[in-house]
Amino acid sequence: MIEAVVFDLDGVLLDSEQVWDEVREALAHERGGRWSERAQADMMGMSSPEWSRYMHETVGLPESPEEINDEVVQRMLERYRQRLPLLPGAVEAVRRLAARWPLGLASSSNRPLIDAFLEAAGLVDAFAATVSSEEVGAGKPAPDVFLEAARRLGVESATCAAIEDSANGIRAARAAGMRVVAVPNAHYPPPAEALELADVVLDSVGELTPEAVDQGEAQTT
């Protein structure tokens, strides 16, 4: 039986994956880095220590990973202050599920960005536990952030459903033993082999209901 639901943030509740891409690419060009088409896909799901190290070592930014991380987060916060890129139906979906289950948030975003989202979206009270992958050992596709979310919620990960959009996120949730509801990212859709790991695939977060989560439970029992 499902005892809790754990949301991803970027690509599920926020239309932000391309914002991350734009901010990091702009910084790379400003600092003389070697941006490539595969950089975004490589960094999707990485924790902040991982992607900032990638920006330093692979993209070639001269600043330290810590300095790169701080600059990117500040630029992301500024973008969010200008306009929070909420996906249509995201807040309503969270409220629907929060009426039935305790909710967690397991995100690759940095803690300041998670907190800014919760405040701006009016969802501070909706989540019983939130985890940034910078607070655990490894980013997605490792299961660490989902396992920590379950721990903070006080439930076993096998009794959780996860809401994910990306290939690495789906793999991470599956590796944590959670049932997976996939809402494929429109800008960076996961490949078919990743979607096959999901119990339910929805077209949009607006379709996310308790019944959809229960459908995922039914398909795996």
Residues recognised as catalytic: 8, 10
How far, in whole angstroms, is CA 208 from its chain's centroid? 16
CA-to-CA distance for 14 and 6, rounded, in angstroms?
15
Cis peptide before 141 (omega within 30 of 0): yes
Per-position DSSP letters for 120-187, written without gaps between them: HHT-TTT-SEEEEGGGSS--TTSSHHHHHHHHHHTS-GGGEEEEE-SHHHHHHHHHTT-EEEE---SS
Phi/psi at 155 (nearest 5 deg)? -130, 165
**Phi, psi of 127, rounded to the nearest 5 degrees:** -110, 125
Contact 77, 117 (CB under 8 A): no
Q: Which residues contact 149 (CB under 8 A, 6 or more apart)?
A: 6, 104, 105, 106, 129, 130, 131, 160
What stretch of H or E contains 4?
strand 4-7
